[in-house]
Structure 1
């Protein structure tokens, strides 16, 4: 970069012009297909394209031909292990959703089979989860009482599941997965923590043996329902609940300490169900205040097409619940799948996962299932059990099928307090104290978002918490766009590097020049702020130079490296900045404007207005050129007043 003053500065090129249709097509492709899924179809025969297309849409056709007996042995062990967790969890979460317990088993049979066909994750184990169940009971239960109108309530649940499937499938096919990214990590952490605590508190109904309980989910309503019924607490239920909860927590603690014994934690819920059922059967505890599941119908999933309430007065309630829970389930499921895929060094397609979730909820709603996703706990067990492919879901579904056909009568004496203990133990593992502390350490605003979501869930409702989290996250995004950072740059000594003076105190101001870096795209939302901020930088720099008695300001250089795009309002803002600079007797220069910016500058004739000679590839070249011009002017002025004082030496560019 050691240019001399006699060299011609390199000019910034304007990209070749494209038609509007070509530009629109390129932008659309980059937005919707950033991973270029069609590259594998290039230069292929029609028959091969058909096979590749089928494998892309239905991934089981891709991995099934390569399936081996070794894979089967691993998937068999993993599938049986997660089935031992899926059965008690399915029944437990069904009670949390206020639907018949059998729906939980139905939801662990059909959806895993669908996911095995369409899912791209090797480790995902699908089924119902606590947060989705809580959301269903909260959002639909507020409009329909599940105790007074169980049939209408169940219809609304199936309808919500159907619309969740429709929305998830559409997002996948339209490749709009980026919309889920608006649920920030901080928002999900706070939301999950709040939901986990509310779920735990609601299980006090089962632990204390209460018959009547509030349908509200805020902490005040839940605690009021608990402590206004102290006369109805059942000590038998309390003792049983504390014993099994302690057992579940101890097995989880031991499994974490001894990773090789992960199966102990996985088997603990089913063991609790078996022991609890035997204990109740032998002691007739159901006659002494310990509530049991009761009769579970044998047989596979009955069709539920006729149960979808498209003509129901509660249709909008079901659509709202389905949309909300579907998007949350997508965010959770895709995040879980990507987390475990990272450990095994493979990639999952978020859009394929959306299609898989959507299809399993669509089919599930037609076969008596309620909303399913990829729960973290079940997926972690599947991963630790050594699964190799999605076939572990088929094994799990087969085990649940055998349970539905032959074993459901054995759950008649299963105490509800054991199910409550299973849910509490699972939810305690979702409370992420470390995540909250980590957010506080890294970003106070993210911490605020997370705490706001948490408080919204705990003291309001799960919907309020979610709305608060998304709203604050969007406000932060809008704030960062409307108030972008601008930095004054200085020269790092003995280099041609220019960095923020605030970040690098050693960076020196260049005499006679103000170098500003704009750190965001320039859109209508931030043009007013940038215009005023640039003007303020100029005023402050002139005042600083005047008070310090230094060389007056002559040039304003805008580093456009981080400006990826600009709109018509941004062009108008640059025109106003240029006029303001001209009025003050200064010269505006641009450094490293990107291709999109150059296109707009060229079309708007701004290049001619600013002057092509005032656009440079780098800040260093802009400083060098301005420095040369500045010293040339001084030399000319000195020559006019005292020709003998002018030295014949030339000045370096930088």
Structure 2
């Protein structure tokens, strides 16, 4: 023993740590001797994981560092393969999106409470920067309706609390830098998995509620009503809009309502003709995508004709956009002060959630549609980098846009480089078309917004499909929408996420496992009549819940595999949330289905425990109790990934309790499908995975059973039954210690053991699958039950 080990042991002893407690409880020599008696099979002793392994996995290697930095720039994987066809597809898609993003960008800036040019700044920066960091060819980063509305709400709340201390542009740019920095941090540290905490029902509820919120807020402006505060709760906006209808301005309403109706007619007509004329579907698609640009141009022309010669927007016959500055008017660092941070600090979580929800959900969705996989962490880098650098050119928070992404995808985009063409279109608009934007009718812009957000509302058919899958989540969906209507978007997001998390935790905490029984399954071929006299019918053993709560046919014969053997399957993992419930259910079942091994019938009433007082006065013990005694427990860990201290302690307490129930007989604990090495280590540290050292004298001629498989140099051509019914080689067999110690598999309907109708020869060279130092960890239920029954029948009786 080294000096460091001696010092460590000395320190452990000084503070009362018994470093050898495992060796005292584990009959390692017995297990090793029994395993060594197996012939013609390669042995294997599974080492336990160590903290050193974890640290080695965490510490980056040189190749890992190179891979990490290369992964930050995904374009390096495809840029050298760029070709003419890709370029043509990107040009068409980029220009098509460009015609959509210009009117949308200006309209969404109005939602954010900012001058319209800020929408163009944000769109330009998103398109010019995203391609270098993108793992999605389809998504477009820029202004979006929901985020713009949220920014507008934040600006309104900060202005209400602090007056004019912070200009709207200052608030929006600071918010972008802060949120972008957080997203960049999450992406650089590869924490993209955090997006999985947001459930689909929360996303759809958020999109639907936000769309209703935005549409309701744009109706007053579309009708020329100026007396409604559109930043308040949606239901109040609707009520006040209805009350103010008599004050609507006819010309504004005409420009707004007609524009919205025109957009919908155009959309439905092109979609209808595209479905009818499949050979011209592409043409109708492109005509459909141009509707917003064409409508804006049309209404600019109408406005110019109606307001010709007007240079002051206040003198126009209806509300128009007014002067839009040419080029980039902002090219400096955003101002972020401690007082501004304090003012917007509480708004940051909601903004982050919206940025993540919109971008990741959209990119994942189109990745699945177009057969590629995005990297959520890298996408967070992309959107984070855009939001950090964007404000230096006047951009406010940007994220992925659903409508423009759909257009870009359908237009045949080939690579993320298509965004460069869209950025050029926006740049052209900023420097050459701002004079034309002066005449855009504000009401028409509101009609465009209402039309654009209509696609965000979840269709009734989708909600019905949710109902078929999970009715409870539909209630969460509507709860979120209702909260957004009667409160605000941020509160609705928190409600859906909070309730979804609570439901998940309750489901895990209230998880109920299943007690399994054994039944024999016969293979029935639909093309052949069932021959009940054929002894060669292929069959196997299967384990299904005894109570048939899984939906299996209640008429099939399911029985316990052996008297006193309990098989229990975890369904929702095994952790501190549900450990107590699982063990309570297991204990109750064990005491219900088995009797105590020793019942002291003559013990005085006053000496009996309060929880087991015996029969009522004047009555006698049931001497005809034919329940079996508890022999073994088989736990199916196929749904368990990891355990914790609480769950392991619950197992230990249950083992001690059931040992007292079965005393003086031992209770074997067998585990199935334990695939996590740290879980194996935890179970081993708690004394599971092998016989207890306390009952070594009761084991008799104990011979463990292991599952073996052909090694990699063996060619196993057929592991399934042949057509004639003869079995081919099986790569997974139960290994018998010696020829004379063979056991029979379980399977009779009367809880007894019988031999299979056919056997399988071992391949030329086999090795055990699991560690021979943990003989009570099994590869499947059948192996576990066989082992348990063999050990039960080989025990030395208590009286000996």
SS at the partner of 1:584? helix
Matched with 1:563 is 640
1:291 aligns with 2:291: no
How big is the shift at 1:121? 1.5
The counterpart of 1:23, out of the listed 27, 31, 54, is 54
Cα pair 1:159 1:309 within 8 Å, conserved: yes
> 1:106: Cα distance to partner?
0.9
Measure, in 1, the Cα distance between the counterparts of 2:250 and 2:196: 47
The correspondence for 1:517, drawn from 566, 569, 581, is: 569
Instruction: Report if the CA contact (8 A) 1:241-1:418 is conserved.
Output: yes
| CA displacement, residues 474-514 of structure 1 (integer Å, 9 cap, x when unaligned) | 11232233233310111122432212232233251215232
Of 616-625 and 409-418, the range deviating more from structure 2 = 616-625
Alpha-carbon distance between aligned partners in 1 of 2:178 and 2:686, rounded to the nearest angstrom: 47
The partner residue of 1:596 within 663, 667, 678 is 678
Paired with 1:571 and 1:23, the residues of 2 have a C-alpha distance of 21
| Between 115-124 and 158-167, the greater mean CA deviation after superposition | 115-124
Q: Which residue of 2 aligns with 1:195?
A: 210
Which of 201, 215, 224 in structure 1 is aligned with 2:239? 224
Aligned match for 1:109, one of 124, 138, 144:
124
TM-score (norm. length: structure 2): 0.71
For residues 54 and 230 of structure 1, the distance between their equivalents in structure 2, rounded to whole angstroms, comes to 59
Return the offset for 1:99: 0.7
The CA distance in 2 between the partners of 1:339 and 1:548, in whole Å, is 64
Moved more, 59-68 or 359-368: 59-68
What is the DSSP-based 3-state SS (H/G/I as helix, E as strand, rest coil) of the residue aligned with 1:454?
helix
Q: Which moved more, 1:218-227 or 1:466-475?
A: 218-227
Counterpart check, 1:466 vs 2:493 = yes
Deviation at 1:218, TM superposition (A): 2.2
8 Å CA contact 1:189–1:436 kept in 2: the answer is: no
Task: Give the 3 Å change call, closer, same or farther, for CA 76–122 of structure 1 in structure 2.
Answer: same
- Alpha-carbon deviations, 1:587-618, whole Å to 9, x = none? 24223234332211222334467467655443
The equivalences for 1:381-400 within 5 A come to 381-400=407-426
> Counterpart of 1:554?
630
The Cα of 1:327 is off from its aligned counterpart by 3.1
Superposed displacement of residue 516, structure 1: 0.9
Name which of structure 1's ranges 502-511 and 179-188 shifts more when overlaid on structure 2: 502-511
Distance in 2 between the 1:446 and 1:14 partners?
47
On the 8 A contact 1:255/1:263 being kept in 2, the answer is no
CA drift at 1:397: 0.6
Give the 3-state SS of the residue equivalent to 2:516 in structure 1.
strand
Asked if the contact 2:166–2:340 (Cα under 8 Å) also holds between the matched residues in 1, the reply is no
Match runs of 1:41-440 below 5 Å:
41=63, 55-145=70-160, 149=164, 152-257=167-272, 258=274, 259-260=281-282, 261-284=284-307, 290-305=318-333, 307-311=334-338, 313-433=339-459, 434-440=461-467
Residue 621 of structure 1 deviates from its aligned partner by 2.9
How many pairs are equivalent? 611
Deviation at residue 435 of structure 1 after TM alignment: 2.6
Alpha-carbon shift at residue 631 of structure 1 (Å): 6.1
Structure with more contact order per residue of length (Cα contacts < 8 Å, sep ≥ 6): 1
Q: Which whole-Å CA distance do the structure 2 matches of 1:314 and 1:224 have between them?
A: 34
Larger radius of gyration: 2
The DSSP-based 3-state class of the residue aligned with 1:143 is helix
Q: Secondary structure at the match of 1:18?
A: coil
Residue 239 (structure 1) shift = 2.4
SS at match of 2:52: helix
1:266-321 per-residue CA deviation (whole Å, 9 max, x = no partner) reads: 2111111111111122123975762111000011252141x42324x332343443
8 Å CA contact retained: 2:634, 2:671: yes
SS of 1:589's equivalent in the other structure is strand
Any stretches of 5+ residues in structure 1 without a counterpart? 1-6, 43-48, 641-654
Q: CA shift at 1:56, angstroms?
A: 2.6
Find the aligned partners of 1:348 and 1:396 in 2 and give their Cα distance. 22
Indicate if the aligned counterparts of 1:500 and 1:507 stay in contact, CA closer than 8 A.
Answer: no
How far did residue 114 of structure 1 move?
Answer: 0.7
- Say which SS state the counterpart of residue 488 (structure 1) adopts: strand
Q: Contact conserved, 1:128 with 1:372, CA < 8 A, in 2? A: yes
Post-superposition CA distance 1:232-279 (Å, at most 9, x none):
211222222221111111222234331421222221111111111111
CA displacement 1:411-446 (0-9 Å, x = unmatched): 101011111111111111111123322211101222
CA distance in structure 2 between the partners assigned to 1:607 and 1:13 by the alignment = 15
Structure 2 CA distance for partners of 1:516 and 1:243, relative to 1, 3 Å: same
1:457 aligns with 2:507: no
Q: Residues of 1 paired with 2:88 and 2:330: CA distance?
A: 31
Secondary structure of 2:515's aligned partner: strand
Q: Residue 587 of structure 2 corresponds to which residue in structure 1?
A: 535
Could you say which residue in structure 2 is the equivalent of 1:621? 783
Distance 1:393 1:148 in 2: 39
The 3 A distance-change label for structure 1 pair 148 and 561 is closer
- Whether the 8 Å contact between 1:116 and 1:390 is mirrored in structure 2 is yes
Q: Is the 8 A contact 1:163 1:323 kept in 2?
A: no
Deviation at 1:151, TM superposition (A): 5.7
Confirm or deny: 8 A CA contact 2:668 2:691 kept in the other structure: no
SS at match of 1:119: coil
Residues 68-111 of structure 1 show CA distances to partners (whole Å, capped at 9, x for unaligned) of: 22222221221111111000000100001111111011111122
Report the more deviating stretch, 66-75 or 533-542.
533-542
Residues 1:8 and 1:559: Cα distance change in structure 2 (over 3 Å): farther
Q: Evaluate the alpha carbon distance shift between residue 255 and residue 149 of structure 1 in structure 2; reply closer, same or farther with a 3 A threshold.
A: farther
CA RMSD of aligned residues (A): 3.2
Aligned-partner Cα distance in 1 for 2:657–2:104: 68
Q: How far has the Cα of 1:408 moved from its partner?
A: 0.4
Q: TM-score, normalised by structure 1?
A: 0.86
- The answer (yes or no) to whether the contact 2:211–2:453 under 8 Å persists in 1 is yes
Greater shift in the superposed pair: 462-471 or 283-292: 283-292
Give the secondary-structure state (helix, strand or coil) at the position aligned to 1:492.
Answer: strand
CA deviation vs aligned residue, 1:506-526 (integer Å, no higher than 9, x gap): 251215232111224432222
